[in-house]
């Protein structure tokens, strides 16, 4: 899986990659290979920074997924629910800079160690300062962060306040919260907007390798019961699923 494979050595858009590899497991292998052998070096440096000292979650293949997706769709208004230490907000900023398009990046997170029934996070970190410092390290301007839970009134108003071109849901993983996040985000996407749901492939045919993870029950249930029928599924890379509001 980690070896260079000529058959995978083709630089495609996200859409082309899904078309060529409709099977989730094959698409994952393509993305993993892309990250290792085709992705720009800046992306691997970014990932290496966030994997060190537990600064970020996820899998190497996700950097390839974000690169192909954002390079293709160039979303302007972007929102992440559940920022943690800023891996994805800074990656979105970095890719926009590399591809030369304008992008406004927003994030809603408690910026504290607050977890849920399936996750615990490091204590003794000033999450907001840490996230801003990492973002600046990549020469990026500060994203617009709201320190709140996604279910707080201030956050739900914030989400409703514009039509987003991309929303990434990766906050609280408990079913009721994911359901509330999903419904609000679905309604707040611009036409053609993208919704990426983290940790949501548990009830699919994805068979994770040792270093991969299919997801948690809460997001996977919402993805299966609602997103798959209400939105247009573009593709799935490991536990991330990408949808478009048509
Ligand atoms: C799995 S981490 C996000 C990881 C991040 N996307 C990354 O790639 O490194 C989940 C984050 O959501 C935050 N969180 C927990 N409950 C939340 C809620 N109700 N609303 C928003 N964020 C929440 C957690 O504190 C944590 O920072």
Q: How many A from CA of 148 to the centre of ligand 1?
A: 11
215 lines ligand 1 (CB under 6 A): no
Which residues of the chain are modeled with pLDDT < 50? none
Q: How many A from CA of 58 to the centre of ligand 1?
A: 12
Give the per-residue pLDDT at 193. 98
Q: How many A from CA of 155 to the centre of ligand 1?
A: 14
Give the per-residue pLDDT at 172. 98
In CATH terms, is domain 13-244 a member of 3.40.50.150? yes
- Find how far residue 24's CA is from the centre of its chain: 17
Give the per-residue pLDDT at 27. 98
Burial 7-35 (b: 16+ CB within 10 A, else e): ebeeebebeebbeebeebeebbbbbbbbb
88 lines ligand 1 (CB under 6 A): yes
Q: Which residue minimizes the CA distance to atom 23 of ligand 1?
A: 171
Give the per-residue pLDDT at 2. 77
What residues does each domain of the chain span? 13-244
30 lines ligand 1 (CB under 6 A): no
Q: How many A from CA of 109 to the centre of ligand 1?
A: 6
Instruction: Give residues with Cβ within 8 angstroms of 142, minimum separation 6.
Output: 132, 135, 136
Give the per-residue pLDDT at 53. 94
Ligand 1 atom at minimum distance from 113 CA: 25
Q: Judge contact between 177 and 150, C-beta under 8 A.
A: yes
Instruction: Give residues with Cβ within 8 angstroms of 65, minimum separation 6.
Output: 14, 31, 237, 240, 242
170 lines ligand 1 (CB under 6 A): yes
Model-wide pTM > 0.75: yes
Q: Which residue minimizes the CA distance to atom 2 of ligand 1?
A: 84
Please state, in angstroms and rounded to a whole number, the distance separating the CA atoms of residues 12 and 32. Answer: 14
């Amino acid at each position: 899986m980690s070896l260079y494979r000529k058959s995978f050595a083709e630089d495609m858009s996200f859409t082309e990659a899904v078309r060529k590899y409709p099977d989730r497991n094959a698409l994952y292998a393509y993305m993993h290979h892309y990250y290792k052998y085709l992705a720009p070096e800046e992306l691997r440096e970014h990932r290496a920074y966030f994997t060190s000292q537990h600064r970020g979650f996820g899998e190497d293949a996700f950097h390839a997924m974000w690169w192909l997706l954002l390079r293709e769709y160039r979303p302007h208004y972007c929102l992440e629910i559940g920022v943690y230490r800023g891996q994805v907000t800074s990656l979105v900023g970095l890719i926009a800079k590399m591809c030369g398009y304008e992008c406004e990046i927003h994030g809603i997170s408690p910026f504290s160690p607050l977890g849920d029934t399936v996750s615990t996070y490091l204590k003794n970190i000033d999450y907001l300062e840490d996230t801003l410092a990492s973002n600046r390290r990549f020469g990026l301007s500060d994203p617009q962060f709201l320190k709140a839970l996604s279910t707080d009134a201030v956050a739900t108003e914030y989400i409703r306040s514009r039509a987003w071109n991309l929303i990434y849901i990766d906050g609280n993983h408990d079913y009721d919260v994911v359901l509330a996040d999903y419904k609000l985000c679905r309604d707040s996407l611009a036409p053609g907007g993208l919704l990426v749901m983290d940790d949501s492939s548990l009830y699919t045919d994805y068979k994770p390798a040792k270093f991969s993870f299919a997801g948690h029950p809460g997001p996977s249930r919402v993805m299966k019961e609602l997103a798959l029928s209400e939105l247009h599924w573009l593709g799935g890379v490991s536990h991330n699923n990408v949808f478009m509001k048509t």
